[in-house]
Amino acid sequence: MKKPVVATNVGGIPELMKNNETGFLVEKGNSEEWIEKLSILIDDKEKRKTMGSKGRKFVEDNFSWNKIAKEFLKNLKPEGRKL
């Protein structure tokens, strides 16, 4: 949806985005950091737009069904054989 992400830096979330590029990761329980990062995005339209576009591209490049299917087939394929 081309929107920047603000999320906590826990679990697998850091693998799903690029901090300071497609959005912001904040430490769990740090409300001041949440306010800071949301304020940046509220105040800077161009940063919102740029981060959102980069986020969309990151998802398309890394999590498209085409990419997932290719990785799945690659993992199924025995060494030296064609599927």
pLDDT in tens, 4-58: 999 999 999 999 999 999 999 999 999 999 999 999 999 999 999 999 999 999 9
Residue 82 pLDDT class (50, 70, 90 cuts): low
Q: Does residue 83 fall inside a structural domain?
A: no
pLDDT tens-digit profile of 55-78?
Answer: 999 999 999 999 999 889 988 877
- Alpha carbons within 13 A on the beta-carbon side of 4: 23
Instruction: Note the pLDDT of residue 53.
Output: 98
* C-alpha to C-alpha distance for 46 and 79, rounded to whole angstroms: 47
Residue located via tokens 């740090």: 30
Instruction: Note the pLDDT of residue 29.
Output: 96
Total number of domains constituting the chain: 1
Its domain, for residue 20, covers 5-76
Q: Does residue 27 fall inside a structural domain?
A: yes
Q: Which two tokens stand for residue 46?
A: 């161009």
Which residue, among 64, 65, 59, 67, has the nearest Cα to 17 in the 3D structure? 59
Q: Any idea what the CATH number is for the domain that residue 45 is in?
A: 3.40.50.2000
Q: Kindly report the backbone phi and psi dihedral angles of residue 57, in degrees, each rounded to the nearest multiple of 5, phi listed first.
A: -65, -40
